[in-house]
Structure formats: C-alpha cells, structure tokens
Amino acid sequence: MKKADVVELFSRLRELNPHPTTELLYTTPFELLVAVVLSAQATDVGVNKATRKLFPVAHTPQAILDLGEDKLKRYINTIGLYNAKAKNVIALCRILVEQYGGEVPDNRAALEALPGVGRKTANVVLNTAFGHHTIAVDTHIFRVSNRTGLAPGKDVRAVEDKLEKVVPKEFKQDAHHWLILHGRYVCKARKPDCPQCVIHDLCRYKDKTPAA
C-alpha cells in the first residue's frame, strides 16, 4: 500500500473514532494486565463479566494473592482455560509483589518474563497503560493487515514488524485500537462488511462482499 494511502486509511479511521481504546474494563495498569491475560482465547465481553465481579473484591497483586488460587478460579471460571489462567495470575502477582513493589513494570523484558504474558500482551499493556507506540497483533489486526494490503505478513511478528515500518508516527499510539475495532466490527473473518467500510476504496482485498 502506498504511503499516501496509509495516511488516508488512518485519517479516515481517526475521523470515525478520534479516541479509540480497549474494550476491556480496567482502571489501573494492573487491572489491564490481568484482563489481557484472561482474554487469551476469550472474548472481551466474557472477560469483562468476570472482572466486574473480581476487581471490586481484589484489584491489586497482594489482594489477589490473599484471595488465593481456588477463590480466584470461582470468579473466572466462565472464561476458557481458567485453571491455567488462575495459576498464571497468581504467579505473576507474586512476582509483582516480590520484585516490583506491587507495580506493573513499564518495560517489555520485565513484562514478558511474567507468567502468562507474551509479546502481544506486553504490547497491549505498554500501549494502553503506558502510552508506548507498540502494536499488538491479534487475529483481527493480522487479518486486516493482510486483507487490506496495509502490512501483509505470514505470521503475527512479520505483520507487527511491517506495521512498525509503515504506520506514520502520528497514528502509532492509536493504530492498535483502530485496527482491532475495524477487524472486530467491519472487516470480520467470515463476511467482511465491505459496503459499509470507510476504507473500502483503499483496500486491496479482491473478494470484497458486494452490496446487497
């Protein structure tokens, strides 16, 4: 995709949604971290239902440690893979308390060293909680980047690296959210809503959904 088209693409997404953010509910970097860990292979809606009950009871690393793994499971047992996620959340809370004074570290290496935290989760926390210009490539961003021709790549890291190069600096802070929301609600996996797409004419996708 030409540089001018990339600028136009993000300009239109920005006009549509000037202040995008995650749909996960949180009030602190720690709550965001836990929510993102819980969101692996789960929906934001499902995670929010669980954290609406969990966070009023325990919203700090020490509070979740005091809650304990078994009680934590009761709050998150509607989320897929909740047993493994509960174990990871307890383990990361212990590290945060013992090594970081209960605070979430503001750097990639420290975040990725936490149980249950991979590159994508670290990118989300760095971007959304700390304002870093990172782009976390999930299935939505991977699909949109390849379909549109914005940043084609064979795997998520290839797409992330390409996005880092092609997204202009003025859009980098919010690019992650714009692309996720576009993939979630417009450029959907099975049947993209091409007739309603604001970047329809810039998109390189050959099999566009025709207007009804």
Handedness of CA 26, 55, 126, 158 (dihedral sign): negative
Tokens representing 129 are: 């909680």
Report the alpha-carbon distance of residue 180 to residue 194 in Å, rounded: 16
Active-site residue (options: 120, 161, 201, 208): 120
Report the alpha-carbon distance of residue 139 to residue 158 in Å, rounded: 13
Cβ contact 127:176 at 8 Å:
yes
List all residues 6 or more positions away from 135 whose beta carbon is below 8 Å from its beta carbon.
123, 127, 141, 160, 163, 164, 167, 172, 175, 176, 179
CB atoms within 10 A of CB 168: 12
Name the phi and psi angles at 48, rounded to 5: -60, -35
Does 138 participate in catalysis according to the annotation? yes
Does 120 participate in catalysis according to the annotation? yes
DSSP code for 209: P
Report the alpha-carbon distance of residue 181 to residue 23 in Å, rounded: 9
Q: What angle do CA 82, 90, 80 make, to 5 degrees?
A: 10
Active-site residue (options: 138, 169, 191, 193): 138
Catalytic residues: 120, 138
